[in-house]
Each structure stands twice: as C-alpha cells, then as structure tokens.
C-alpha cells in the first residue's frame, strides 16, 4: 500500500511539474521522475500529517472590476480598430531631454500607431509633465505612463528625489518604512502623471559577482527580499501606482549583464522553485499587479537554445500565469537589450506576445511590429481571442490607474510637491535605519567621554568640506584630513600620518567604493596599510565604508577597532553616520548579504546617548515652510543693515532642525561669508554659558552655597557695605551693584588718551596682557580693576525692607567669577574647559580665540575709537572684560551656535548629555524658574517679560522659558514646555555700537515668533 501511495504522489507531482514547465524530453522526464520519486520517498509525510501544498497557486484577480467599471472598458474596446488594439501593446521609450524631432516622432506614434503607453527615461520633471500633457492630448485612448524608478524619480530625472537603493533597504529591519517609501514614490509618480513604476527588483542577489543586479536587490535572503519587495509594492499600489516585480523568474544568480548578452541561470528545479521564485510567489499572493519578465536563459524551465525567458511560453504562460496564478499585467524587459536575442525586432515583439507578455516595453520599429502582429493574426499564429483578452486587460489596468478620468498635469508648484520636506525626512530616516555596525571592539561606539577622545578624521577619495566631516565637527573638535585621491604609495601614508597631531582616535572613511571585486572594490592596498600603520601607533581606528555591502570584503581581517557599512555615499548618509558614531541616533541595520563571517542579518546595535541629532523640522512636529520665514526676516534685516551677518539655530526634542548662516563678516566684503564655523563675541551670554554653569556645578558639589554671604568667599567684602550680599543676590542682580560702565574703565583711560608708559602697542616683558588688537598692559592691571570694583559704591535702590531692588549689573558676575576661582583655585576658563566644555565636545567656546588658534574665523565687532583705537576682531568688545585680559565672568566668550546649543540642551535635559550627567535633575529647573518677586528673572537666567513687550522674545514663549541676550546682538532662549532651543548670534555693533536696528525692529522677536508659528 505504501508503495502505491509513493507512486501516486510522485506521479501527481511530476504531472504538475510537466504541465507547469512544459517539458517534453523523454530523457529529462525519466531522470526527473527518478529524482522526484527518490525525493518524495524521503519526505513522505507520516500517517496523519498534512500533505504538502499543491504546486499551483490560487489565482489572484488583481484587475477585476465591478460591472459599472467594466462599462468604461467595454465602451472603449468597442471603438477600437484592429490596428488600435495592437497599438495598446506597445510602451515606447521617450525622453524629456531630447529635441523637438524626438518629441514629434513620439507624438506620431501616439496619433497614428495608437501606442498604449510611454516609459520616460532621462530628463527633468517639468519638461516631462509638459510632454505628458502633450502626448495624452494626442491619444485616442489615454496612455499608461511608466518610469523605471527603482529608487524613485531621481533614478531618471534631474531635480527629483533619489531614495536609497534596494540593498540599503535590505539592511533595514523594519519593513514598515519601506512601505512608506513605496507610498511616497507612488505619490510623486501620480503628481507627475505616472501610472507604472518598474519596481521593485525582486531578484535575490545570491551571486556577489552579479554585474547587473547587485545593489538593486534587497539582498541574498529570499525571505528578506520577499518581505521588503512586498512592502515596497504595497506602498506603490496603495497610491494607485502599478508595481512590477522583476526580473522573472529571477536574475540574481548570473554573471553576465543582460543589457549586453543573454545570461544563463544555472539553477536546479529545486533551487529555482525554493529560492528565486519565492519572492514572486509572495508578491503575487499579496496582489501584485505587474511582472517584468527577464532576458534570461533558464534551461530547467525551457531548454530551447539561447531563448530568453521573455520569449518563452513555458516561462511566461505556463510557469508565471498557470502555475503561480498571476493575473496582472506581464511586461517584457526592454526589448532593445542585447539579452533578448538577435531576431528582427518585429519578430521579437510577436514572439513576446505569443509567449504570454501583455505589454512590449521599449520596442524597436513600432510600425513594422504592428504590421507583423496584424499579419500573424490573419495567419492564425496568434488568435484574435488572445489579442482581445490582452487589450481588455490593459484597459482594465488603465481604469484602475484612473485613466477613465484624465486631466492635464498641473505645472504650478511641481518642484515643491516632488521635493516635499516629508519626503526628505523619509529619505533621512531610511538612511538612519540602514547604517550597520559589523565590528565594535570594546564598545568603542558610540564615543563616550569626549574629554578623553581626540579625534582625527581621514576621508579617502572625498571632496573637501564634505558633509561627513562637517557633521563630525558638530559633535567634537575634529582634525580633518581630506585625501582627494586614493593613496598609492608609502609617501602618501607618511603625509597623512604627519597631519594627525595628538589624535588618539581616527575615523577613517572610504569613499567612491565599487560594488565589484575588480580593483578590490575600489580600496587600494596603501589604504589598507594605513589601518595597520595607525594601529602600530597605538591609535583606535574606526572605519566607515561609504559603499555597497560587498565593499566590506577588503576590510576582513584588518585591525580596525570598529567597522561600519553605510551602503551608499550620498549627502544624507554622510550626515547620518556621524550621528551614529557619537550616539545621537542608534545603529539598527543588519547585513543584507554575507561578507566573510558577517552573515545575513548580522548587525550590532548601539543605544542613543542623548546627544543632539540633526534632522528636518517635520521630524519634531514643525513645518519647514513656516521656518523658511526666517530667511525673509533675516534677508530684510541684512538689507536694512541691522547687522552684516548672523547665525540662527533651532533645536526641538533633541534635534537640530534649523541651522543657517547668513550674510558676511563685514559690510565691505561680499565674499567673506558667515559660515557655521564663524565665531561671534557672545558678550553677556558669557554670564549664563560660562559663569552660571560653573556656579551650578560648584553648588551641587557643596563648594558654593547660594544662601551664603559673598564675604564668606571674598574676605575683602567683609568690612564694607557689601558684607551682607549673598551669592543668590548676585545671580538675581539684586546685590546693589551699579549698572553701566564701571569707574574701573574710566580710571583706565584719561581724557587725553591712554596713559603714556602704562600701555604699549607691542607685547613686552612688562606689558604682556593683551587688552586690544595692538594694545598691551601689565598683568597687574587685573588686580587694580578688582580693587576698583571692590571699592565701587552700591547705587541700586532699596525696598521697604532695606533689600536692594533689581538692577542689572555686570559687576555681579565679575564677582561670581572671583568666587568660582577662589573655591576651585583655578582660573574660571580652565575650570569650565575641564568640567564642561571638553566633556560636552565643545571646541569653539573660548576666551581670546586668536590666542588659542589663529585659524578661528571671528566676526569683527566695533571699531573702538574711544578706548583701544582699533577694529576689534577676536578681541573682546566689552571694555571691562578687556582690562581683565579678555576673561571675565560677565563677558569674553566667543563661540558658534553649534557649540552653544550643547550647553542649552544639557540644561534642557536636566543636566544629562552624551551619556553623562553633568547636573542633578533638579538643578537646571531650579535656576531657570522665576526666583523672586522683585523681578521677573531666574537665578542667572533672564525670563519672559510679564508685559510681553520684549524686543527679542516671542509672546508665545512659555512662562517656564529662560534665556539671555548679549550686547553684541545675541540671544539664546530655551522653552521646556515646547522642548525648544533658539539661538541667534550676530555682530550688530559692527562697525558701531550705535546701530540699534536689531532692537527697534524687533528682529530677534520676529524670528522667535516664526519658530513658534511653525509648531
């Protein structure tokens, strides 16, 4: 009995295979029967278990329409002549970057040969829209318009978006975002009058040497390919774009380019069925609407010599349609490709139709092909019934795509609609999720304590000022070494190493990598030797391979401490990878192919560390269009000469979403542009970004008590009217100190000019303290200034209880500086650098920047004709701070907005940043709340004006918000209620501090309001 069962099952299965594949060879039949019988005997289910699923899949009627909808199809069909019916099979290639002769030729095919569709290739979106309108108006039956946009319109059209290639998507663990990408590409297609996207590629790239698929595939895992391809397909079709799976029955395991010649698929029946057909079965079951047949020779299905699957009835009709049950549109691959064969073009078109294809893609010689097909119908080579069935299927697809109601493509706002902020954000998110870490010795990544990490970034084969290096600089002071050409000699390596300085960590990025093994994936031997040389110097090395997954192969066995695969080398990916390195975003990606020991699905996770990320406004619930109003506000201010230039930065929910530089350093040089690296004199922002931070740190450590009298720390106040003032009085500007320029500055200068003999225009052994660009004084002047401040009378008014009222005074923070330095026995700049700035990764927040590094680009402030008689650039503007050598508790800091935001974000995050706790959770909120009934201020911080009349703060700012301004034209503002940070830096006092337009025009307030309106 058992033998009978085996034989019966074997016979049934074999019968199905023969029917499906159309085999006729007796020898093949005998060999296959033996093989199948043996296999089935081994795998026969035990009694009581379910049998294997039948071979044939249940058809999915994806183009079924309701009777009312079929009325349009029947109505159109009834009007068609034979020639018009035949024309529906042709989808002709066209371009929007050609001349009028080409456009007239296409229009002739539409009018006189009644072609059914067009596939657009190179050109631009606006030109394509104009041409589509032109061609549609010439068509009797609306045209199906297609594009080969595997990674979006940008694959073919300029000024449009190119999303990551499919291998990159294969590294993403969450298919939901692939669906979103498919949906967005579908939206863009519909906006441009496109109905078909020839995507997704559903081939399994099981051959790393594949010359034509490679990055176009989701990878070598059949399950991953099936899941991602299905997600992409559903996204397209849910936006009413016909998706097409290609290249049936599987183009992944070949080593010949089908554009040039005919590849042979050397697969067994089992391999083809189990591997290559797997994604197609999945997509068909998920209601796939289109399939592209491949120019492949598949002997196990059809052993006709040199016959492409495109032209094989056994492949297209028997396997695809009958066995897999596909009921959608079947497209040929482009019929101009070398792989399809060398028959006359009209014969190729006919054979493709007879094989079972519905639409002939990129046909050649349409007039002769139409005539040949008509003749074949007359001769009975192809039946009229089959022709009519295909035409009606095409018309049903046109109805489904909405071509029963046609309207011209709207040209207005086309560029804006195709490049929406939401689409740009989606592209960034795809890149973020794809980044894959395959090696991370000792959990080097993400970088932790930045005060112990001295980073150099070597970019091989990269452009100078590339986005990767620019983004790195947003996280830490990085020494950049850009190597435009790939190193080829030991001398090249010597020059690179010479530039490293004191770096202990090197980020080595490789660009312009190749997907093929030829020339070692684009990695030179000296480039690999560089890793060895760096390790021999005791350096930690992080390698970032900006290229396809297979390009990791040269790095197998290297001594790199960490290795990252990015899959692509576009701007978005170059901006994303530094965020992974520094822990702003996590690493999530997984290998889509196997490279060495890094198997499919392998990828190391990292956790975010709380550092700022960089993203688009839409990622945090803001609108890019509204934020662009800042451009208009600033440009008008520049025209009005309110300031020569500025930096504006906005961060929300832990992400920098707006970071722009405007204008120039001066009014006189249009070429000296403000950049993100430009340092501004922060003036009174020094109070909150420097001195206040030091006080908070020391307060937590018990070194400073806010309720303690100042005289406790500064005995020189003991026997004076200042003996009862407290530290909190200083922070609240309620200590009684006078406002305005203190007598110390007046005493340092006499009416007739600077005191002869006391100052010098050159530095010498006696006068070594720089107080101006070309002005030096004895260091002892700092002690004199402090003595004058100690003796300054208190002039603020007192209330009924005898306490001083609020009176903003720089002297309060000069005094706080002295307290910090006494309790730490350190200069305040050293304390801040060691305890705050370096650990935060801040490299530009410095006193006396030109003394620290001559390469700093510093915006000039005032042409000081009152005291120092020179243009101030890199020397502090504030006169009192200048008399202290440029270092004071109330002024003296210079910085960029990118470094300032780190301090503000740390305060907003209640003392935590970059995986490190700087302050206890309650400290920052304590200092930033309204602290007294005598003013609206907090402890050190400014607060919103209760009357709402501020010239720099939006009335929409919450009561919990806090910030500060600087005399040179700056403002920082933090709003915990909205998780929002705003920074504005300018040099409005250049060339004269008399320029107050920034205040009278309320420019900073206007910008702040635009930010709130974007929420």
Q: What is the pLDDT of residues 465-495, one digit of tens each?
A: 999 999 999 999 999 999 999 998 999 999 9
Model confidence at 84, pLDDT cuts 50, 70, 90, reads very high
The interaxial angle of helices 222-237 and 278-285, nearest 10 deg, is 30
Three state DSSP letters for 426-463 = HHHHHHHHHCEEEEEHHHCCCCCCCCCCCEEEEEECCC
pLDDT of the residue at 341: 81
259 a catalytic residue: yes
pLDDT of the residue at 858: 97
Specify the length of the chain in residues. 1015
Model confidence at 32, pLDDT cuts 50, 70, 90, reads very low
pLDDT of the residue at 895: 98
Q: Which of 153-167, 459-473, 737-751, 822-836 has the lowest mean pLDDT?
A: 737-751
Q: Which of 621-630, 747-756, 795-804, 865-874 has the lowest mean pLDDT?
A: 747-756
Residue 577 CB burial class (10 angstroms; 0-12, 13-18, ≥19): buried
Model confidence at 760, pLDDT cuts 50, 70, 90, reads confident
Long-range contacts of 304-307 (CB under 8 A, 24+ apart): 306/262, 306/341, 307/341
pLDDT of the residue at 54: 38
Q: Which of 402-416, 628-642, 733-747 has the lowest mean pLDDT?
A: 733-747
The sheet with strand 893-895 has its strands ordered as 846-847, 893-895, 678-681, 857-858
In the set 259, 266, 371, 936, the catalytic residue is: 259
Q: What's the average model confidence in pLDDT over 845-873?
A: 92
Q: Which of 695-704, 781-790, 949-958 has the lowest mean pLDDT?
A: 781-790
Q: Token pair for residue 492? A: 């090249």
Q: Is the dihedral of CA 404, 405, 410, 413 positive or negative?
A: negative
Q: Answer whether 0.75 is exceeded by the pTM.
A: yes
Distance CA 378, CA 381 (A): 8
pLDDT of the residue at 290: 98
Q: What does pLDDT average to over the chain?
A: 92
pLDDT of the residue at 381: 95
Distance CA 392, CA 661 (A): 59
Q: Would you call 521 helix, strand, or coil by DSSP?
A: helix
Cβ neighbours of 853 (radius 10 Å): 12
- Residues whose CB falls within 8 Å of the CB of residue 996, separated by 6 or more in sequence, listed in order: none
Residue 142 CB burial class (10 angstroms; 0-12, 13-18, ≥19): buried
Q: Is the pLDDT of residue 5 over 70?
A: no
| pLDDT tens column, 917-960 | 999 999 999 999 998 887 889 999 999 988 888 999 999 999 99
- Distance (Å) of CA 95 to CA 115, 129, 132, 398: 16, 11, 11, 22
pLDDT of the residue at 340: 87
- Residues whose CB falls within 8 Å of the CB of residue 1002, separated by 6 or more in sequence, listed in order: 951, 952
Q: Please, are residues 209 and 517 in contact by the beta-carbon 8 Å criterion?
A: yes
| pLDDT tens column, 866-877 | 888 899 999 999
Q: What's the average model confidence in pLDDT over 107-135?
A: 98
Q: Please, are residues 865 and 913 in contact by the beta-carbon 8 Å criterion?
A: no
Apex 49 CA angle, 43 and 55, nearest 5: 60
Distance CA 712, CA 718 (A): 8
Q: What torsion do the CA atoms of 914, 919, 922, 924 make, to the nearest 10 degrees? A: -90
Q: What's the average model confidence in pLDDT over 93-109?
A: 98
Q: Is the pLDDT of residue 505 over 50?
A: yes
Residue 999 has φ and ψ, to the nearest 5°, of -90, -50
Give the distance from CA 466 to its chain's centroid. 14
Nearest to 681 by CA among 842, 861, 940: 861
- Residues whose CB falls within 8 Å of the CB of residue 416, separated by 6 or more in sequence, listed in order: none
Q: What's the average model confidence in pLDDT over 518-545?
A: 95
- Residues whose CB falls within 8 Å of the CB of residue 752, separated by 6 or more in sequence, listed in order: none
Q: Please, are residues 699 and 705 in contact by the beta-carbon 8 Å criterion?
A: yes
Distance CA 799, CA 216 (A): 76
Q: Please, are residues 772 and 868 in contact by the beta-carbon 8 Å criterion?
A: yes
- Residues whose CB falls within 8 Å of the CB of residue 785, separated by 6 or more in sequence, listed in order: 744, 748, 880, 883, 884
Model confidence at 758, pLDDT cuts 50, 70, 90, reads confident
| pLDDT tens column, 139-153 | 999 999 999 999 999
Q: What's the average model confidence in pLDDT over 3-10?
A: 40
Write out the H or E segment, with its range, that includes residue 331: strand 329-332
Cβ neighbours of 66 (radius 10 Å): 7
Write out the H or E segment, with its range, that includes residue 5: helix 2-21
174 a catalytic residue: no
**For 626-658, b where at least 16 C-beta lie within 10 A, e where not — what string?**
ebebbeebbeebbeeebbbbbbbbbbbebbbbb
- Residues whose CB falls within 8 Å of the CB of residue 228, separated by 6 or more in sequence, listed in order: 166, 169, 170, 172, 175, 178, 200, 218
pLDDT of the residue at 29: 33
Q: Is the pLDDT of residue 771 over 80?
A: yes
- Residues whose CB falls within 8 Å of the CB of residue 698, separated by 6 or more in sequence, listed in order: 704, 820, 823, 824
**For 774-798, b where at least 16 C-beta lie within 10 A, e where not — what string?**
ebbbbeebbeebbebbeebebebee
pLDDT of the residue at 17: 34
- Distance (Å) of CA 869 to CA 437, 550, 866, 969: 57, 63, 6, 21
Write out the H or E segment, with its range, that includes residue 506: strand 505-510
| pLDDT tens column, 969-979 | 999 999 999 99
Q: Would you call 693 helix, strand, or coil by DSSP?
A: helix
pLDDT of the residue at 57: 85
- Distance (Å) of CA 994 to CA 151, 439, 743, 775, 968: 55, 58, 21, 23, 11
- β 505-510/478-483 pair status: unpaired
In the set 203, 333, 561, 729, the catalytic residue is: 333
Nearest to 877 by CA among 892, 856, 857, 858: 892
Model confidence at 55, pLDDT cuts 50, 70, 90, reads low
Nearest to 472 by CA among 565, 543, 588, 576: 576
Q: Please, are residues 983 and 904 in contact by the beta-carbon 8 Å criterion?
A: yes
- Residues whose CB falls within 8 Å of the CB of residue 337, separated by 6 or more in sequence, listed in order: 258, 259, 260, 295, 362
Q: DSSP string of 334-356?
A: PTTSGGG-SS-HHHHHHHHHHHT
pLDDT of the residue at 45: 41
For the chain, how many helices (H) and strands (E)? 38, 30
Q: What's the average model confidence in pLDDT over 154-160?
A: 98
Alpha helices by DSSP H, listed for 499-628, are 525-536, 571-581, 624-627
pLDDT of the residue at 741: 65
| pLDDT tens column, 168-186 | 999 999 999 999 999 999 9
Q: Is the pLDDT of residue 797 over 80?
A: yes
Q: Token pair for residue 19? A: 């029917």
Distance CA 280, CA 723 (A): 85
Model confidence at 9, pLDDT cuts 50, 70, 90, reads very low
Q: Please, are residues 730 and 744 in contact by the beta-carbon 8 Å criterion?
A: no
Q: Is the pLDDT of residue 18 over 60?
A: no
Rg (CA), the chain: 36
pLDDT of the residue at 743: 63
Given the structure tokens 């299965």, which residue do they identify? 13
Q: Please, are residues 725 and 707 in contact by the beta-carbon 8 Å criterion?
A: no
């Amino acid at each position: 009995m058992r033998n009978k069962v085996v034989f019966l099952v074997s016979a049934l299965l074999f019968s199905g295979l023969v029917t499906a594949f159309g085999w006729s060879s007796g020898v093949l039949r005998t060999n296959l029967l033996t093989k199948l019988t043996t296999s089935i005997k081994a795998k026969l289910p035990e009694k009581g278990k379910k049998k294997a699923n039948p071979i044939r899949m249940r058809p999915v009627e994806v183009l079924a329409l309701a009777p009312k909808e079929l009325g349009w199809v029947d109505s159109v069909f009834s009007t068609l002549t034979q020639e018009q019916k035949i024309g529906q099979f042709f989808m002709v290639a066209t371009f929007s970057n050609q001349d009028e002769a080409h456009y007239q030729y296409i229009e002739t095919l539409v009018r006189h040969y009644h072609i059914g569709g067009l596939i657009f290739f190179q050109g631009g979106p606006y030109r394509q829209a104009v041409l589509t309108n032109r061609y549609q108006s010439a068509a009797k039956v609306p045209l199906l318009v297609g594009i080969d946009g595997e990674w979006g319109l940008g694959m073919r059209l300029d000024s449009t978006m190119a999303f990551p290639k499919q291998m990159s998507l294969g590294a993403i663990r969450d298919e939901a975002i692939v669906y979103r990408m498919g949906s967005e590409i579908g939206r863009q297609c519909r906006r441009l009058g496109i109905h078909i996207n020839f995507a997704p590629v559903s081939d399994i790239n099981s051959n790393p040497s594949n010359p034509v698929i490679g990055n176009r595939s989701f990878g070598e895992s059949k399950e991953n390919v099936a899941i991602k391809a299905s997600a992409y397909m559903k996204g397209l079709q849910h936006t009413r774009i016909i998706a097409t799976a290609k290249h049936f029955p599987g183009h992944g395991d070949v080593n010949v380019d089908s554009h040039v010649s005919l590849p042979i698929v050397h697969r067994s029946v089992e391999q083809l069925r189990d591997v290559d057909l797997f994604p197609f079965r999945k997509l068909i079951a998920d209601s796939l609407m289109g399939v592209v047949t491949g120019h492949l020779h598949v002997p196990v299905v059809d052993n006709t010599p040199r016959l492409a699957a495109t032209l094989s009835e056994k492949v297209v009709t028997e396997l695809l349609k009958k066995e897999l049950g596909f009921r959608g549109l079947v497209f040929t691959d482009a019929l101009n490709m070398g792989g399809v064969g060398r028959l006359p073009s009209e014969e190729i078109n006919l054979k493709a139709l007879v094989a079972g294809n519905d639409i002939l893609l990129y046909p050649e010689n349409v007039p002769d092909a139409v005539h040949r097909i008509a003749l074949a119908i007359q001769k009975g080579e192809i039946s009229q019934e089959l022709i009519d069935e295909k035409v009606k299927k095409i018309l049903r697809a046109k109805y489904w795509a909405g071509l029963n109601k046609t309207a011209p493509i709207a040209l207005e706002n086309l560029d804006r609609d195709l490049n929406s902020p939401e689409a740009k954000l989606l592209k960034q998110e795809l890149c973020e999720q794809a980044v894959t870490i395959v090696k991370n010795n000792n959990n080097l990544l993400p970088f932790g304590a930045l005060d112990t990490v001295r980073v150099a970034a070597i970019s091989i084969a990269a452009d100078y000022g590339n986005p990767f290096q620019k983004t790195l600089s947003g996280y830490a002071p990085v020494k950049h070494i850009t190597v435009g050409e790939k190193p080829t000699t030991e001398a090249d390596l010597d020059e690179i190493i010479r530039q490293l300085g004191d770096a202990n960590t090197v980020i080595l990025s490789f660009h312009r990598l190749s997907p093929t093994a030829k020339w070692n994936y684009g990695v030179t031997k000296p480039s690999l030797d560089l890793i060895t040389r760096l390790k021999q110097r005791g350096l930690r090395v992080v390698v970032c391979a900006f290229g396809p997954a297979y390009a990791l192969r040269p790095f197998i066995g290297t001594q790199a401490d960490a290795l990252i695969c990015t899959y692509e080398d576009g701007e978005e990916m170059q901006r994303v990878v530094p965020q992974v390195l520094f822990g702003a975003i996590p690493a999530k990606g997984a290998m889509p192919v196997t490279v060495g020991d890094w198997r499919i699905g392998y990828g190391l996770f990292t956790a975010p560390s709380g550092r700022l990320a960089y993203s688009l406004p839409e990622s945090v619930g803001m609108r890019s269009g509204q934020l662009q109003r800042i451009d208009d506000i600033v440009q008008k201010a520049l025209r009005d000469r309110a300031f020569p230039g500025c930096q504006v930065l906005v961060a929300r929910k832990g992400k920098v979403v707006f970071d722009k530089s405007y204008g120039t350093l001066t009014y006189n040089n249009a070429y000296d542009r403000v950049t993100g690296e430009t340092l501004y004199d922060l003036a009174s922002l020094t109070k909150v970004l420097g001195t206040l931070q030091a006080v908070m740190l020391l307060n937590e450590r018990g070194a400073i008590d806010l309720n303690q009298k100042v005289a406790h720390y500064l005995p020189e106040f003991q026997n004076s009217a200042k003996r009862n003032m407290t530290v909190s009085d200083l922070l609240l500007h309620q200590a009684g100190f006078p406002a305005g320029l203190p007598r110390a500055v007046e005493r340092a200068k006499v009416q007739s000019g600077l005191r002869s003999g006391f100052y010098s225009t050159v530095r010498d052994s006696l006068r070594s303290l720089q107080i101006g660009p070309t002005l030096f004084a004895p260091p002892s002047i700092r002690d004199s200034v402090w003595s004058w401040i100690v003796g300054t009378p208190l002039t603020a008014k007192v209330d009924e209880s005898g306490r001083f009222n609020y009176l903003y005074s720089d002297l309060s923070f000069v005094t706080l500086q002295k307290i910090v330095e006494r309790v730490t026995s350190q200069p305040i700049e050293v304390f801040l650098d060691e305890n705050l700035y370096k650990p935060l990764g801040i490299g530009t927040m410095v006193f006396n920047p030109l003394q620290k590094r001559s390469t700093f680009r510093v915006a000039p402030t005032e042409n000081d004709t009152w005291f120092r008689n020179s243009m101030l650039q890199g020397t502090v503007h504030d006169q009192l701070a200048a008399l202290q050598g440029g270092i004071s508790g109330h002024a003296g800091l210079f910085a960029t907005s990118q470094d300032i935001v780190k301090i503000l974000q740390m305060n907003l995050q209640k003392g935590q940043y970059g995986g490190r706790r700087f302050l206890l959770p309650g400290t920052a909120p304590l200092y930033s709340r309204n602290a007294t009934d005598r003013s609206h201020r907090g402890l050190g911080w400014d607060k919103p004006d209760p009357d709402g009349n501020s010239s720099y703060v939006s009335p929409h700012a919450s009561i919990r918000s806090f910030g500060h301004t600087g005399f040179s034209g700056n403002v920082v503002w933090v709003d915990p209620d909205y998780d929002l940070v705003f920074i504005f830096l300018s040099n409005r006092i250049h060339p004269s501090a008399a320029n107050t337009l920034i205040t009278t025009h309320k420019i900073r307030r206007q910008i702040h309001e635009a930010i709130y309106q974007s929420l």
